[in-house]
Amino acid sequence: MAKAITQKSKKKNSSLARPKKLKHVSKSNKKKKKELSARAHKKAIKKSLPQKRPGIFKTIPSFVKKHKKVLLFTLATLFGAGSLFYWTVLKDLPSPTSMKEQSIPQTTIIRDRNGQVLFRIYKDANRVKLGLNNIPQVIIDATIAIEDSEFYKHHGISFHSILRAFLYNIKQSDKNQFQGGSTITQQLVKNRLLGPQKSYLRKIREIILAPLVELTYSKKDILTMYLNEVGYGGPAYGVEAASQMYFN
């Protein structure tokens, strides 16, 4: 009897313990379900948000691999064009600083004891240098109005004038009819550094040098050099020689 009672009590105890294990398992399952739902919710939120694009440094290697041939061709073309531009235009390009260093031949003037001019001795060009303060303001204003009305506004070149001259020149068959569209600074560069030959190569060099001259010298210096260098017909170069030839 005692054994039977003990066996019954053990069965009761085991039957009572089982529901507790089920409760524990059900609680853990609920937690797992909650965690899974939370993770799924987070993933859904991440997908709905706009994704960040990869940085430029990360995309460069893939871009280079995809377009390797195109990039090599582009680099080779740029290198060839740069080399050609250097050897044809930039090589042996004169320095703007040489304009001050050059010694321009001046006319030798012989006077008597009273200061009267007896002789003017020169080879090809009659040239007498003057400072800008010694040149009448009327001549300065007239020169700027005729040659370069925007002299004090530009930085050496006028693209509007160059374009106008280019459109006019392509219609001409004779080079002597070409227009330059040059500013006072460009004309000074032509007279002092490049020479009078008419060609597109000289014009390109002129366009490159003119802004450099503007950076090197003031507007006053440029105007002074121009008025002492520009040809006024025949052997007269500069306003002083021109005034002596035409009005003396």
pLDDT in tens, 54-106: 556 566 777 677 777 788 888 888 888 888 888 888 888 888 888 877 777 77
Please name the amino acid found at residue 245. M
* pTM summary value: 0.65
Selection from 132, 135, 161 nearest residue 219 by Cα: 132
Is 111's pLDDT higher than 80?
Answer: no
Predicted confidence (pLDDT) per residue in 125-183, tens digit = 778 888 888 888 999 999 999 888 888 888 888 888 878 877 887 877 766 667 767 88
Residue 9 Cα distances to 15, 21, 70, 90, angstroms:
10, 19, 89, 111
Q: Name the residue with higher pLDDT: 209 or 119.
A: 209
CA dihedral 202, 151, 145, 134 (to 10 degrees): -100
pLDDT in tens, 11-36: 545 544 454 444 455 656 666 666 76
CA 63 to chain centroid: 27
End-to-end CA distance of the chain: 160
**Whole-angstrom distance, CA of residue 216 vs CA of residue 228:** 18
